[in-house]
Amino acid sequence: MRPTLRILLFTLAGFSVVSALIGMIGLTIGGGMGLPAEWITGTIFASYFWPGVILGVVVGGTQSLALIAQVGRFQVAWGLHAAAGLTLMIWIFVEIALMLVWSPLHGIFFATGLVQTVCAVLMLGAWPRPLLARTAPNRANGSIPG
């Protein structure tokens, strides 16, 4: 299962990095990728430029760090993948909250972040082996009535 999770994490992070960079370029240089200016009316942003920069640096940056750590076989890689997945989910949540608009892309990227986070936590050892193993009772600390 671990090789499958490694490949999945690498794929999800790679997809997220490429998407964040495309989004950053489209929002900064591309003038907002055709998104209506009304969607950010009432927010702290006058244009899509700064959201694009934040998308590229924060979301793309955390995903890049996770990929670099995984390729370099650093032990921190799985923790960075969890942080990158959470960052992606927070980005989507805040984007929807600010713009008050939902798109199927929001669902795709939120699900990507969620799957990345869950896989990373499993790589960190959250999956007990065997799955339904039980711990031995300990009468001394009161874990068993009696």
Q: What confidence score (pLDDT) does residue 38 get? A: 94
Mean pLDDT, residues 102-131: 91
C-alpha Rg value of the chain to the nearest Å: 20
- High-pLDDT (> 90) share of the chain, %: 79
Asked if pLDDT for residue 1 goes beyond 90, the answer is no
Element (H, E) at 81: helix 77-99
Peptide bond into 145 cis (omega under 30): no
pTM (2 d.p.): 0.85
Task: Indicate if the alpha-carbon torsion angle 125, 111, 7, 133 is positive or negative.
Answer: positive
Residue 139 corresponds to which amino acid?
A: R
Asked if pLDDT for residue 146 goes beyond 60, the answer is no
Q: What is the DSSP letter of 137?
A: P
Domain boundaries in the chain? Answer: 2-128
Give per-residue pLDDT as tens, 47-60: 999 999 999 999 99
Q: Is 88 within 8 Å of 116 (Cβ atoms)?
A: yes
Q: What confidence score (pLDDT) does residue 145 get? A: 56
Give per-residue pLDDT as tens, 59-99: 999 999 999 999 999 999 999 999 999 999 999 999 999 99
Copy the structure tokens of residue 84: 């990158």
Tell me the backbone φ, ψ of residue 86, rounded to 5 degrees: -65, -40
